[in-house]
Amino acid sequence: MPTHPGLKLSRAAPPLAASAIQALPATNGTAAGQLPSEYTQRREFPSTPTVFDDPLLSLSHPVYGLPGRLVDNFATLGIKTIYPWQKQCLLGPGLLQGEKNLVYFAPTGGGKSLVADVLMLKRVLEDRDAKAILVLPFVALVQEKVRWLRNVVGGISRQNDLGQQPPEGQRLWAARADKDTIRVVGFYGGSKIRATWVDFDIAVCTTEKANSLVNTAIEDCSVTRLKSVVLDEVHMIDDGHRGYILELMATKLLCLEQDVQIVAMSATLTNINLLKEWLRGHSYETHYRPIPIDEHLVYNGKIYPASTTTSLLKAITQVNTNPATQSCAQALRTINTSSHNEFKDPVLNAVVALANETVRAGYGALVFSSSRGGCESDALLISRVLPAFQDAPLATQEKRADLLGNLRSLSTGLDPKLEQTIPVGVAFHHAGLTTEERELIANAYDAGVLKVCVATCSLAAGINLPARRVILHNARMGRDLVGPAMLRQMRGRAGRKGKDEVGETYLCCRQNDLEDVVDLMHADLPQIESCLISDRRRLQRALLEIIAIRLATSREALDDYASKTMLAYTTESDAIQQNLEESLEELRKVGFIEVDNHYNYQATKLGKAIVTSSLDPEDGIFIHNELRKALQAFVLDGEMHVLYNFTPVHDLGSVGINWRVFWNEMQQLDESGLRVMTFLGLNPALVNKMLHGGTLKENTPEEKDTARRYYRFYLALQLRDLCNELPIHRVAQKYDMPRGSVQTLGQTCEGFAAGMIKFCEAMDWGAMASALDHFSDRLKAGARSDLLALAKITFVKSRTARIFWDNGFKSVAAVANADPNELLPVLLQSQPNKARLEAKDEQKYREKLLAKAKIIADSANRLWQIEMRQDFEEE
């Protein structure tokens, strides 16, 4: 087959041959008599009915009350009919009218999001002032959902297009176009800390951001506009890290007793009745899945059916009791051993063989690995057994060449391992990659350009990458066995609706994990419960928030709040009262709240500052002490002290300090930077000790605070380099950090910096707030002060802004008045080490950059017009 002329392949490792997989004869119905997995309801719905069988399966049916344009948009996105279970759920008592809350369970891939979308959009469309919040646990899911919803609401106006009187119960909306469109905005990471209802109609948020929105709205009394709150992945409510904030937020809404519909959904929920009682709503549960899943266990080179408990236990019992006399008939298929040293491990051999079989059959495979390094290693080995780049159709070759070109054009450049794997249709996807890299890879996989994607287990719930075959390279995340919920999330990715007739999962298991894996595969999902009593600090945060926003200020109101938490449905009232008393007393002792003689509570200035900046109380104490010290001697003749205060204080335990790098950077600090270290109490002798194998103690509270300062300072050094225009991949190399982690650091610090500015404002530390605010723009732009104006232009950040400056485009006006063709050479210079392609591809590449130049020019024009308008108004 001819080769695409534009791609120069890198020197890759020699090809290998994957082991063959052979079918074994079926006995006693082992292979032929398998039932569908527990994810399906094929016995209830032998085949999915059509709208001809049931008109209510069409969203255009009058009972749903959806505008025709919305129904058309859903159809354009591939949703032409709904499933019977979705119909039954939507027609539950009072749901379409917004009179009842809803808690429902549906498996991954079962279409649960559509139910929430319909209910939420109805609330927003019925009231011109209505607002909605959709809460998701991961930034990647927020970004994906924002794109989806913008397509769903595209072209929809909330006014009556026919100019007729709207149906009874609906408002007649004014005709201003800017008020009639539905604005979908994502809030996460570095986005605004105190957004207002003016910014959006539908807010898609991470949990912390959603809680902040609700707090702000309650405090300024605009919460009456909130009509819908959707809690996705609600099973994470008992996650002690951040999930418990879902309980805090929902309880506030229940206390308001206002007209807001709460919709909670999950694919891994067991005690649904607890949530139903707590949220005072309707519940619905289904196990229907449009694409059935065939599940398998791979052990010792053999594939066993695992779709029913009986067949699985029979296979495992015989393996355990008498392996020597095991009959091959017990298994469905066997994987031949490999002659290659690389595949001596039977688990790795099985993973590669199964992935190879999937691709050669024309399907996609999603492989889950336990670590980032495992992802990359698996991807490299799988790529060595697949058909060569030259053997792919020319159209596929071209698309893979385009993908490599797009990755190469990113500021981080092309990862050398991806450069080896992508030509044969394989890539890896983990948190060590940048957002742009992950998005390009996910889109290419979804489009079929890539056939195998290897992801970490931790991303199973944070990505939406369905596959014909899901392969689990053991059931561990790091060293620990994954939980039943995580396993179900991974298995649930099998089966592409509209592309596959069936999904397949293969869990590859080692001998010493066999018993644990069997238990895991058949373990019941854990019962969710409130986290507020397991750690009193969480209850303290809940109480501080409701006192600070004045939702509850009397002891009677606080008791009422406690009675509406999920905790009240699982814990004795005496235990709650005791924890309430002790938590309030602790908040008073540390100076977060005050109480008068009538037992009325109010937040102190410090308490309000902590809530305003979305801090946990414990973190708030640390931050308060750090900033109060800084007020006495803030080092303003350099940037390190400001950057240190922009560095987050939570999740620092995951930071791996390379003490050699720390020592080298410390040696190169100027006088200002060394004064910051001295002021913070960071000892060069301790850094030297750590360099030679010492241990950073974290046993006492004082030692933990000291360790926090070392972690923060190490991250502040990285922020310094980012703000001084060092590219992300260079910072990652320098500090021995994954480039995705460096990018996430920059994004997280934007939001944390905004929180610190609000903290200082709430404490009436105006000078400190101004000093921090002045530097925050540099943090966002990733550039020095002279480039801040240019960095506001779309696609012009950091390195690109510097190249524009060096080429004479030193102002927004200069870019706005330039022809896009004048900007093209500048953009070509800004591409990192791009290998020159042959003429055909070079022309295509220039066309892409020219389109980018037009967007840049348009963005600069809009900014320039705003500047001129402001200048005119000032005159």
Distance CA 56, CA 667 (A): 72
Question: Same structural domain for residues 304 and 422?
Answer: yes
Q: Which of 579, 603, 627 is the last residue of a domain?
A: 603
pLDDT reported for residue 116: 96
Same domain, 263 and 324: no
CATH of the domain at 102: 3.40.50.300
Going from the C-alpha of 579 to that of each of 247, 529, 585, 619, the distances in angstroms are 17, 17, 10, 21
Which of 92-106, 350-364, 492-506, 589-603 shows the lowest mean pLDDT across its residues?
492-506
pLDDT at 69 exceeding the cut of 60: yes
Does one domain contain both 626 and 728? yes
- Cβ atoms of 108 and 493 within 8 Å: the answer is yes
Structural domain boundaries, residue 749: 617-782
Measured from the Cβ of residue 521, the count of other Cβ atoms closer than 10 Å reads: 21
Task: Give 563's contacts (C-beta < 8 A, 6+ positions apart).
Answer: none
Domain termination residue (choose one: 547, 577, 603): 603
Cβ atoms of 293 and 505 within 8 Å: the answer is: yes
CA 424 to chain centre: 28
According to the model, what pLDDT value does residue 813 have? 83
Q: Residue 477: how many CA atoms within 13 Å on its side-chain side?
A: 14
Q: What is the C-alpha separation between 340 and 17, in angstroms, rounded? A: 8
Residues linked to residue 204 through DSSP beta bridges, in sequence order: 134, 186
Q: Is residue 21 part of a domain?
A: no
Domain at 761, CATH number: 1.10.3380.20
Residue type for position 604: T
φ/ψ of 204, rounded to 5, equals: -105, 115
pLDDT per position as a tens digit, 176-190: 345 578 999 998 865
In a domain, residue 177? The reply is yes
User: Would you say residue 37 lies in a domain?
Assistant: no
What is the spatial distance between Cα 500 and Cα 807, in angstroms, rounded to a whole number? 52
Given a contact cutoff of 8 angstroms between Cβ atoms, the answer to whether 525 and 270 are in contact is: yes
Q: Are residues 838 and 760 in the same domain?
A: no
**Alpha carbon separation from 238 to 234, 532, 562, 564, 567 (Å, rounded):** 9, 9, 17, 16, 11
Q: Are strands 302-305 and 601-603 parallel, antiparallel or unpaired?
A: unpaired
pLDDT of 114 strictly over 60: yes
Strand order in the sheet with 202-205: 184-187, 202-205, 131-135, 226-231, 261-266, 101-105, 281-285
Asked if pLDDT for residue 47 goes beyond 60, the answer is: no
Map tokens 């995705």 to a residue: 740
Q: Is 281 helix (H, G, I), strand (E, B) or coil?
A: strand
**For the chain, how many residues are written?**
875
Cα–Cα distance, 778 to 784 (Å, whole number)? 6
Alpha carbons 587 and 602: distance in angstroms, whole number: 11
Q: Is residue 42 part of a domain?
A: no
Q: Are residues 94 and 149 in the same domain?
A: yes
Lowest mean pLDDT of 70-84, 329-343, 555-569, name the range.
329-343
Name 134's bridge partners: 204, 230
CA distance 305 to 465: 24
* pLDDT value at residue 26: 61
Q: How confident is the model at residue 495 (pLDDT cuts 50, 70, 90)?
A: confident
**What pLDDT sits at residue 431?**
83
Residue 8 lies in a domain: no
Give the residue-averaged pLDDT of 589-615.
Answer: 92
Residues whose CB is less than 8 angstroms from the CB of residue 481 and which lie 6 or more positions away in sequence, other chains included:
475, 513, 516, 517, 520
Whether residues 752 and 808 share a domain: the answer is: no
Asked whether residue 46 is domain-assigned, the answer is: no
How far is it, in rounded angstroms, from Cα 699 to Cα 690? 17
Let me know whether 476 and 599 are in one domain: no
Average pLDDT over the chain reads 83
For residue range 180-216, what is the model confidence (pLDDT) as tens digits? 789 999 988 655 445 567 778 999 999 999 999 999 8
DSSP letters spanning 434-492? -HHHHHHHHHHHHTTS-SEEEEEGGGTTT----BSEEEEESSEETTEEPPHHHHHHHHT
On whether both 327 and 383 belong to a single domain, the answer is yes
Q: Tokens representing 605?
A: 């200035």
Pairing relationship of beta strands 601-603 and 593-595 according to DSSP bridges: antiparallel
- What distance in Å separates the CA atoms of residue 870 and residue 789, rounded to the nearest whole number? 15
Q: How many CB atoms lie within 10 A of CB 835?
A: 11
Residue-wise pLDDT tens digits, 510-535: 888 877 887 788 777 778 888 887 77
Which segments of 692-833 does DSSP mark as H helices, in order?
701-723, 728-735, 739-762, 766-781, 798-806, 812-816, 820-830
Q: Is residue 11 part of a domain?
A: no
Q: Which residue has the tokens 């602790």?
A: 586
User: Do 173 and 281 have their domain in common?
Assistant: yes
Asked if 324 and 230 sit in the same domain, the reply is no
Q: Give the residues across from 305 on adjacent strands.
A: 296
Answer yes or no: is 100 within a domain.
Answer: yes
856 confidence band (pLDDT: 50, 70, 90): confident
Smallest CA-to-CA distance from 423 within 456, 454, 384 is with 384
Query: How many structural domains is the chain composed of?
Result: 5
Q: How far apart are CA 242 and CA 239, in angstroms?
A: 6
Cβ within 8 Å of residue 773, ≥6 positions away? 757
Among residues 475, 495, 521, the one where a domain terminates is 521
- What pLDDT, on the 0 to 100 scale, is given for residue 318? 60
Angle between helix 701-723 and helix 728-735 axes, rounded to 10 deg:
140
Q: What is the DSSP letter of 336?
A: -
Task: Tell me, yes or no, whether 709 and 595 share the same domain.
Answer: no
Both structure tokens of 607: 């308490």
CATH code, domain with 569: 1.10.10.10
Structure tokens at 491: 């298995």
List the one residue out of 15, 501, 4, 26 whose CA is nearest residue 311.
26
> What is the CB neighbour count within 10 angstroms for residue 42?
13
Tell me: do 512 and 543 sit in the same domain: no
Q: Please answer whether residues 96 and 63 qualify as being in contact, where contact means their C-beta atoms are separated by less than 8 angstroms.
A: yes
Task: Please report which confidence band the pLDDT of residue 274 belongs to, taking 50, 70 and 90 as the band edges.
Answer: very high
